[in-house]
Amino acid sequence: PLSLVKKPLLSQIDVSLSAIENRIQKSEEKARCDALTGLFNRSILDEQINHFINSGLRNNSTFCLVFIDFDFFKNINDQHGHLIGDSVLQLFSSILLREKRNDDCAFRFGGDEFCVLINGDHKTAGQVFANRIKNSLKNIYPSVNIPPSLLSISIGLADFPYCALDR
């Protein structure tokens, strides 16, 4: 009789532990990712910059930090509403994820600011990526019905180790 009770009880415990593990995993993902865009957040950027620097020093390799800022993004929210602004950020984030390579990392840095860490220097990998982003930005206009003048971005590039040797 005791063995008959044990099996269902162990099964229930196993199901409960699986549910707890699933909740922990989802909580960890939420802590690492921006809720709106699904990109890594700024705290993960800090970790990844350290990883890229250490790897660069160890392997004598370069990487490029690509910083992207929407120009006048406040005007999008003011003129078209925050839901449209959120849509623009989500669409732009999907462009970053599509255009980056597998070993590159994309982050939401702040409200309308994004950052991508790219293996290679700005002349090879960084500028190619920046041009792909600028060209892909044109695909957002029809989706959100916003004039191109409001969807302007500024892109800055910095190379490791040429621009800096630390964060």
Report, as residue numbers or ranges, the catalytic residues.
112
| Residue burial 21-38, b: 16+ Cβ < 10 Å; e: rest | eeeeeeeeeeeebbeebe
Q: Where are the alpha helices (DSSP H) in 60-126?
A: 73-80, 82-99
Return d(Cα 161, Cα 43) in angstroms, integer.
22
Return d(Cα 85, Cα 76) in angstroms, integer.
6
